[in-house]
Amino acid sequence: MTTTITKYETVIGLEVHAQLATASKMYCRCASDYADAPPNTRVCPVCLGLPGVLPVINKRAVEFTMMTALALHCTIAPHSKFDRKNYPYPDLVKGYQISQYDEPIGRNGWLDVTVNGEVRRIGITRVHLEEDVSKLIHRDELGGGHSLVDVNRSGVPLMEVVSEPDMREPEEARQYLMKLRTILRYLGVSVANMDEGSFRCDANISLRPAGETKFYPKVEVKNMNSFRAVFRALEYEVGRQSKDYDLGISAKQETRGWLDDRGETVSQRSKEFAHDYRYFPEPDLPPLKFDDKWIEDVRSRLPELPEARQARFMRDYSLSDYDASLLTSARETADYFEAVLSADMAATAKDAANWVNGEISRIMNAANIDIAAFSEKVPPAALAGLAVVTAKGTINSATAKTVLEEMYNSGKSAADIIKDKGLAQISDDSALKDMAADIISANPAAVADYHAGKEQSLKFLVGQMMKLSKGRANPALAADIIQQKLKEG
């Protein structure tokens, strides 16, 4: 399905929840690394919601939220407070969630995304802080469905980034999510993995007649665990809602779940409004006050963000927009690239970019590893060494790819592999002339084709030379020598 609807305008806003990468939970000292822990082993009276306990604010989580808000061009509030959000879901053991309502930490920011070559600015309504809920484990062993509650996740710091309803097509939403995740990873505030649940998105979508400016009832779509799922769910909703409008069915505000295997959304419940949660200030936590000194201290810790780094790579290293974009898509990849250049200034930026974006990317995809794991086998200095010997002509590009593969598998340097396996490029005239004579003698038909004006036959003969030399012949020199021999004879 494609969004070619012109009769209606699509209106999309996203609510993104990201678990923060703190060592402990939001309001207690329990460890937040719950993923591999046995159920209900990362718990205490606070995150169990037992009577008489008092929460304590995690300062690091607050500063991670401030960093994110600043990176998204938000204004940090001079003061902020926590609120109780009341709802009776079984994954909320206290019966309420400590969140933020009318005084978030950051507000009024923006994020630029590029779709079809056009830069579009998406407003950020707010960035606030809350706690995650427990995990329900659904079972059906005894023939009757029941659910178990694992409280390990309850209380993990959860940051919410709420966009304005500024997106007009599903692809905008996908690009927004991808860029936001990249920023969070650059900041180091979240691992932001959708498939693991540390980066979650609820999408609000509505349609309105083209040309109108008022908002119509929205549908909130949940249960999407990949960028592709978000895109497909929004595409589906565009089609479903437009058909309803065409049939005269009025839109209703509701929550729908995405069923990835069926490629459709299903109604879950009517959508709650803010007053349904009966917000009131959290009585057990003091309000936060953000003075200029604290804000500037946090701002000083911001790293160079992907957009700025991409622009610098293009400016300082004369890289294309495409190469710079790939290199800066992950902070660790950009760091590796620059470490290669620092290790040996004889390695050119373009060569290093080609290695990282090309052959290294292929190896990582095949091995299902990230750049950090690759770097353990092939440190930046080792890649710089390979790039330099290739540029000098010690080995040709085809051999260099084989050498890199061996470097990854064995951990050896390029120089050692080239020496041990005798891979150095043959550039000796006499040796290549002897090979050329043998190739010409063994391929009379190709020689006749060459003399008949078929230039393609020269490439065939050079290919035979490369085969005979096991890839070690200097291709340019081999071509020159074969051509010279052909003219002589």
CA 343/CA 358 separation, integer angstroms: 20
- pLDDT of 1 above 50: no
| Percent of the chain scoring above 70 in pLDDT | 94
CA 12/CA 177 separation, integer angstroms: 12
| Predicted local distance difference test score (pLDDT) of residue 14 | 98
* Residue whose pair of structure tokens reads 């699509």 in the numeric block: 10
Q: Are 150 and 39 in contact (CB under 8 A)?
A: yes
CA 325/CA 330 separation, integer angstroms: 9
| Percent of the chain scoring above 90 in pLDDT | 69
CA 304/CA 322 separation, integer angstroms: 19
How high does pLDDT run on average in the chain? 90
Q: Is 273 helix (H, G, I), strand (E, B) or coil?
A: coil
Work out the average pLDDT over 337-341.
Answer: 96
Residues 6+ apart with CB under 8 A from 185: 191, 192, 330, 331
Q: How confident is the model at residue 2 (pLDDT cuts 50, 70, 90)?
A: very low
Q: What share of the chain is helix, strand, coil (3-state, %, to 5)?
A: 45, 20, 35
Computed on alpha carbons and rounded to an integer, the radius of gyration of the chain in Å comes to 30
| Predicted local distance difference test score (pLDDT) of residue 142 | 64
Q: Is 476 helix (H, G, I), strand (E, B) or coil?
A: helix
| Predicted local distance difference test score (pLDDT) of residue 193 | 94
CA 204/CA 216 separation, integer angstroms: 11
Question: Of 67-71, 179-183, 190-194, 389-393, which gets the smallest average pLDDT?
Answer: 389-393
pLDDT in tens, 367-416: 999 999 999 999 999 999 999 888 887 888 888 999 999 999 999 999 89
| Predicted local distance difference test score (pLDDT) of residue 158 | 98
pTM: 0.85
Q: How confident is the model at residue 468 (pLDDT cuts 50, 70, 90)?
A: confident
> 287 or 436, which is more confident?
287
| Predicted local distance difference test score (pLDDT) of residue 426 | 63
Q: How confident is the model at residue 346 (pLDDT cuts 50, 70, 90)?
A: confident
| Predicted local distance difference test score (pLDDT) of residue 296 | 97
pLDDT in tens, 44-96: 999 998 999 999 999 999 999 999 999 999 999 999 999 999 988 888 888 99
pLDDT in tens, 9-56: 999 999 999 999 999 999 999 999 998 899 999 999 999 989 999 999
Four-CA torsion 32, 35, 37, 40, nearest 10 degrees: 70
| Predicted local distance difference test score (pLDDT) of residue 455 | 77
Partnered with residue 130 across adjacent β-strands are 158
* Residue whose pair of structure tokens reads 């085969």 in the numeric block: 467
pLDDT in tens, 264-314: 999 987 766 666 789 999 999 999 999 999 999 999 999 999 999 999 999
